[in-house]
A and B are shown apart, each in its own frame.
Chain A
Amino acid sequence: QSVLTQPPSTSEIPGQRVVISCSGSTSNIGSNFVSWYQQVPGTAPKLLIYKNRQWPSGVPGRFSGSKSGTSASLAISGLQSDDEADYYCATWDDSLNGPVFGGGTKLTVL
């Protein structure tokens, strides 16, 4: 059972927008930055968003992050077939005194 809660799966057609949620608590999301990772099966995760809403270089602006209270969201607009992957949120947990991941969301592009 992950400390951060994500929907196990979501799907959308190409060109549309999808939002993936990440729910936590005051000891993690509520008081720390959130990052998001994309993992294509069989490969290492890749940083998509850091400090809630910032992009590393090379990540397209179709990916955007936001945070409100104890929840965070990753939005992907203009869906493409190669966006099909697993997406994970992560943050620090002050109670556990360590980083935590969400359970991951499998995105299917129909």
Chain B
Amino acid sequence: QVTLRESGPALVKPTQTLTLTCTFSGFSLSSNGMCVSWIRQPPGKALEWLAVIDWENDKYFSTSLKTRLTISKDTSSNQVVLKMTNMDPMDTATYYCARITWNGIYADHWGQGLQVTVSS
């Protein structure tokens, strides 16, 4: 059974760095074709891909956010960490992590999401 769970702060101040952790089970991020992605959704708006990390540790970032994002994995702990610098109130959103299958690039399992508010 595949599960993913996001953790991190619910509230961050403008200019701070957001650190989110995705803890997963039921698959290995060292297995061929496995990836984990971060996706966000501002209130009332569409889904937006942020970053993807794959089984070979290759990383892909949103073009508009790539200068602010880092993504890393700890295969032994089954965790993926996303860092986003210089947070702004416009970054207020629900942040999801999801498992991506590279053969087809689809998110077949999602975490429940973490609501993050950026406010002073």
Contacts and interface: CB of A to CB of B under 8 A. Distances in A.
Q: Which range holds the interface residue count of chain B?
A: 20 to 34
Q: Which range holds the interface residue count of chain A?
A: 20 to 34
B63 A98 contact: yes
- Give the dominant DSSP class at B's interface: strand
A110 interface: no
A32 B105 contact: yes
A61 interface: no
A96 B63 contact: yes
Given A97-B60, A98-B52, A51 B47 contact: no
Nearest to A96: B63
B105 A99 contact: yes
- Give the dominant DSSP class at A's interface: strand
Contacts of A90: 47, 49, 105-107
Contacts of A14: none
Nearest to B35: A99
A87 to B, nearest CB: 11
Contacts of B47: 37, 39, 45, 88, 90, 101, 104
A51 B47 CA distance: 19
